[in-house]
Structure 1
């Protein structure tokens, strides 16, 4: 039961199981993402973090349990309906439409095929390279620039919840700083962020809450500050200090 003085979480997973073929990946995930701010999902490789995001998005169907978003049961909804409900997903693969320009990539995600100039200017304030390569095919961009396009496409329309999988993986430090600025400002809007990330220096200053996964379950949930200041807890949950996650 929710505390009477606390709002209902914008996203709740209750006992969620996911099977992929013969593999039982998620084994009863319980996860609550508060409305507003940035929640982080940490864990060893193979713990089930990406599967959790993909299951929320309906890309993989939950085989058990319930997923509720903004007061609605979305467990059995198809991915397009989940997106229309207000969730955007940025996969680790930096998926872009390679033959389309940066502008055309964003247009695909824009309501009625129209880009709001003030919104584009706001996004390009974080990622100036997007304006520079506005009319270039996205397939010609570097990995970091493609990641910018993927994130820009996800936020070109205001979303209630943004799911982001390993956004800093393989990126240069300067681009990571741009991402940090973008997420920090998004936190101050009406967008809630659930972020899977291994770069602890990135999430240490951004994350409000942290959930740690192991073997397909959430084994720890609490304030990011508590985990960041407790080396023994880091070692117990992750097998090493989070400062090693660079």
Structure 2
């Protein structure tokens, strides 16, 4: 088994009067893709935002490598090599694509070799380099959002619903790019509703319901067990191809 890069132990998160995460235990092995599945409202996005320090855990521990980061501020978490691609993409629509990318390169000028690799992954980044980000299509904005997160090398990327609302051709491009990204030293924690896409890229999987992890294991084992899919999520891979 790979070393564990990120772990959550008994994590609770309250948002106002609402108790969203209710004792989340999650292990993210280094060097692969862990997929977080579950119905809407199960707590997946709250889990990512809590890891990133955007919401503060009220109880429990979040450990990154050998450091407990539960109470760290978001900028400190980012400096440790964790990036977040939110569901709403988080790009600056009034700025150009190049300006969005330059803002994300917090350690100085953009590395041209890395930028070339990114534009190979996401060709629209190069095509629309001088265009306003607000004029991009939904799929192109999602590519820009991921590209911003990887403009500098990251140990861990948290990605929330990268294929939501995208056309099948764009989903394939996004999937291919994430498959290439996982071949680098980057670990990915991915929230995704598209089970076919998730199963094609995921190495390990965790399923959430009502603010807790109700299943964790190998993705291939879940793919091969349609009864377990139905039990956990009310779906089977066959009907979601």
TM-score of the two chains, using structure 1 as the length reference: 0.95
Q: Does 1:194 find its partner at 2:189?
A: yes
**Contact kept in structure 2, 1:161 and 1:191, CA below 8 Å:** yes
Whether 1:42 and 2:40 are equivalent positions in the alignment is no
Name the structure 2 match of 1:3.
none
**Could you list the runs of 5+ residues in structure 1 that have no partner in the other structure?**
1-5
Which of 139, 152, 158 is the matching residue for 1:163?
158
- Say which SS state the counterpart of residue 107 (structure 2) adopts: helix
Tell me if 1:142 matches 2:142.
no
**Partner of 1:81: helix, strand, or coil?**
helix
RMSD between aligned alpha carbons?
1.2
Work out the CA distance in 2 between the residues paired with 1:178 and 1:220. 29
Q: Which runs of 5+ in 2 are unaligned?
A: none
TM-score normalised per structure 2: 0.97
Q: Could you say which residue in structure 2 is the equivalent of 1:175?
A: 170
**Which digits, 9 at most, give the CA deviation of each residue in 1:90-148, with x for residues without a partner?**
00101210111101101011143311111111111121111111001101111111111
Taking the aligned partners of 1:101 and 1:68, their CA distance within structure 2 comes to 36
Task: Tell me the equivalent position of 1:31.
Answer: 26
Residue correspondence of structure 1 range 81-230 to structure 2 within 5 A:
81-230=76-225
Aligned to 2:13: 18
CA distance in structure 2 between the partners assigned to 1:196 and 1:7 by the alignment: 21
Separation of aligned partners in 1, 2:9 and 2:107: 35
Any idea what SS the aligned residue of 1:112 has? coil
